[in-house]
A and B are shown apart, each in its own frame.
Chain A
Amino acid sequence: MARVIDEYVTSLRERLRGPEHVKEDLLAEARDSLDDAAAAYRSGGLAEEAAQRRAVADFGPAAVIAREYQGLLALAHGARTLRTLLLVPVAHLGWELNRGFWVGAWPRFDVPPPDWYLAVARANDSAAWVVAAVAVASLLAGRWLVRRGVAAGTLARLAGAVSAVSVAAVLSGNLAIMTATALVDAARLALPPPVAAATLVPMAIALRLAVLARRCLLLTPAS
């Protein structure tokens, strides 16, 4: 039994990295196409192995074809990373609800806090929503750009950059409000353990996003 098609699909698989279900879906389709082509050559009178060789030759060199598929895998990963950014406001809202449950409304300040403190607090509260809006806008812009013929790999890199900047904005917002609170009224940082522990959830999401954003760049095919 000739294994030319098997070997070709394996060599494609070894070259591809990215979301596993997307990868297997692409490979299953490639395999179908190769089987169809080989069947057509067999019915034209070629022997099994020769038919498979012709089918593989028609499909194109694995290195070249893999590069095109790799762009798609990077793009699928980029879109997934942008969708994951939508978790940021959910985590923020969850944290606030949890804090409301354990602490209630923030106590009033003894002396009114300076304007800059309120500005930092407002910026930190809105950062999560801005990030979500940017993610939705990027997904829509990506669809528009792919229609204009922008390469999948370029879009994946853009998605990675947008996500990295978003994560950096969210983390700096968190850091800024904590530092500012420490300066203005350090006692407020002494949160009950369930509230302090809940802080780990948005942090874990941010770290996960940082990893996903970095992978957008790693998965992009070398141009």
Chain B
Amino acid sequence: MSVKSAYMKSDALRGHLDALLLATVDGGPLHGYAIIEALQLRSGGVLDLPTGTVYPALRRLETAGLVTSEWSTVGGRRRRTYRLTRAGQRALAAERTAWREFTTAIEGVLGGGPWPA
């Protein structure tokens, strides 16, 4: 992958980071590193951004009341785990709807061959 396309990818990703983070904790509470692993796994390794930016983003979501977090002991280690709030669930549902509308519109234009067929 060229440097330019890698840059574009991380730039495009940034705009969606909040929604992606909300989606990863939708299934249940996760700690930060598990969220990062889930992002990489679910994107087939394509979503790869500095892991250090994930934590400030999670804390910002917490300030916004979309997730809550607490220290708990997981596997014998103290970890900060994040869970979705009701407001977070609503925000995620709205993001999903907006994303579907967006991809449907783009697919309609980019997805087919030359137009009119």
CA distance A147 to B52 in the complex (A): 21
Q: Nearest residue in B to A22 (C-beta to C-beta)?
A: B59
Q: Which of B18, B33, B65 has the most CB of A within 10 A?
A: B33
User: A69: CB under 8 A from chain B?
Assistant: yes
User: A110: CB under 8 A from chain B?
Assistant: no
Interface size class of A (residues with CB under 8 A): 20 to 34
CA distance A36 to B65 in the complex (A): 27
CA distance A72 to B64 in the complex (A): 12
User: A5: CB under 8 A from chain B?
Assistant: no
Q: How many residues of B contact A (CB 8 A)?
A: 22
- The 8 Å CB contact of B60, one of A29, A37, A61, A152, is A152
- The 8 Å CB contact of A147, one of B32, B56, B64, is B64
Chain B binding surface SS class: helix
CA distance A32 to B55 in the complex (A): 11
B residues sitting closer than 8 Å to A (CB atoms) are: 18, 31-33, 36, 50-53, 55-56, 59-60, 63-66, 77-80, 91
13 pairs from A and B in contact (CB 8 Å cutoff) = A29-B32, A30-B55, A32-B33, A32-B80, A33-B33, A33-B51, A36-B33, A65-B52, A68-B56, A72-B56, A72-B60, A72-B63, A149-B18
Starting from the known contacts A32-B79, A59-B52, A60-B53, 11 additional A-B residue pairs (CB-CB under 8 Å) come to: A28-B80, A29-B80, A33-B36, A37-B51, A58-B51, A60-B51, A64-B52, A68-B53, A72-B63, A147-B91, A152-B60
